[in-house]
Amino acid sequence: MPTAVTPEAVEKVIFAGVEEIGAEGEITRDAAFEDLDLDSLDLVELAQIVEDEFGVELDGDAVKDVKTIGDVIDLVVARA
């Protein structure tokens, strides 16, 4: 069963996911992917983590304008 989507739950999963993927630096809502040394493939992987956890699909079109960790959290919450 997918985890219920609340902003707090999404933030927790994404922070943990970003760390697991190998982010460099402090992980905050305002941190940009680029500054965390995360690339487009990392974003694909994060989308997979989100899908596994919440059952929310993030396709290529959805994530193409994503810049910060907060952007992804908001996107997942909005799409749930």
- Contacting residues toward another protein, per CB under 8 A: 41, 44-45, 48-49
Catalytic residue among 30, 39, 52, 61: 39
Residue 19 or 30 with smaller CB distance to another protein: 19
Which of 43, 35, 51 has the alpha carbon at shortest distance from 18? Answer: 43
**Is residue 39 annotated as part of the catalytic site, yes or no?**
yes
Residue with tokens 């908001």: 74
Q: Give the shortest CB-30-to-another protein separation in angstroms.
A: 26
Specify whether the CB–CB gap between 80 and 9 falls below 8 A: no
Residue 44 or 78 with smaller CB distance to another protein: 44
Q: Give the shortest CB-12-to-another protein separation in angstroms.
A: 19
Q: Any residues with CB less than 8 A from the CB of 35 and at least 6 apart, and which? A: 25
Q: Give the shortest CB-57-to-another protein separation in angstroms.
A: 11
Residue with tokens 């059952």: 55
